[in-house]
Amino acid sequence: MKEYYENKVAVVTGGASGIGLALCEMLLSLDAKAVVLADLNAEKLEAESSRLDTAYPGRVLGIRTDVTRQESVAAMIRQAAEFGGGQIHLLFNNAGLGLMKPFEETTDADWEFAFEVNFFGALYGIRAVLPVMRAQGGGHIANTASGIAFSPMAYQSMYSATKAALVGLTCSLRYELWDDNIRLSTVIPGTTATPIWDKVGGAPASAISPEESAYGILKGLAANERVVFVTDDDRRGAVDAFDPEVAKGKDEYFLHNARLRRSGEVAL
């Protein structure tokens, strides 16, 4: 796996915490030439990029980025390419939000924000990085979706819809750009103990660590997997998603979960 990442220039959005930060640290440990942390949280970005730069001098750059603004993403990609000597080999569109809310309480503004963060942020990154990757002869773009794209949950209509859209975009572009030697992979990172769970009382006990998720992601990308499933649970969920043989059981499971959430037994 190290052979795939050594001497590469990588950009990771949402890079100052959770899976994004774990990816940055692991890429550096695998001898990536340069790693750019892009994040909206200026305080975390400064702290983590400084810490990593101390451990890996001259190979780390933090860039404050708002993925909901195309001009911010484009400026970040330009700065990252300059830092990487004109190259960006790997783009991890990792930034995202969980977005749990009853559908009837959502507004058009909620939906617009949901798509700006979870879908358009990745789209803006792809648009900005393609000229760089074409000029250098190729690259790899990884878009972080979620198992919820295959197993949509009640009270998470915005999260389900945005991540399903991202799966569709990524899989379509994978073949549109294949002959340009630009790879695209959808990442399904597994239920991971990250700050995305903070507003609902913390991650479940079964959650994997950001480091475990990052390892699975990098292993899958090195193998050029179409969809990188880090956990067996997500892999099975995708396989069963539209299987009529298990539809009754799926209905029972999702309805039970919806009722738990409605009753307050599972936090919204």
The CATH number of domain 2-234, selected from 3.40.50.720, 3.40.190.290, 2.60.40.180, 3.90.930.12: 3.40.50.720
pLDDT the model gives residue 191: 92
pTM: 0.94
Supply the pLDDT for residue 199. Answer: 63
Query: Confidence class of residue 1 from pLDDT cuts 50, 70 and 90?
Result: confident
Query: 176 pLDDT exceeds 90?
Result: yes
pLDDT (0 to 100) of residue 265: 78
Contacts of 89 (CB under 8 A, 6+ apart): 8, 9, 10, 133, 136, 139, 140
* pLDDT in the model for residue 173: 98
pLDDT value, residue 267: 61
User: 75: which 2 tokens?
Assistant: 């400026």
What residue spans define the domains of the chain? 2-234
Answer whether residue 97 shows pLDDT above 60.
Answer: yes
Active-site residue, selected from the candidate residues 5, 56, 159, 253: 159
Query: What's the rounded mean pLDDT across residues 200-213?
Result: 83
Please confirm, yes or no, whether 159 is among the known catalytic residues.
Answer: yes
Q: Give percent above pLDDT 90 in the chain.
A: 91
Q: Which residues contact 228 (CB under 8 A, 6 or more apart)?
A: 142, 185, 186, 187, 188, 216, 217, 220, 221
Whether 259 shows a pLDDT value over 70: the answer reads: yes
Mean pLDDT of the chain: 95
3-class SS at 32?
A: coil
From the CA atom positions of the chain, what is the Rg in Å?
18
Question: Each residue of 109-147: pLDDT tens digit?
Answer: 999 999 999 999 999 999 999 999 999 999 999 999 999
Please check the confidence at residue 268 and state whether its pLDDT lies above 60. no
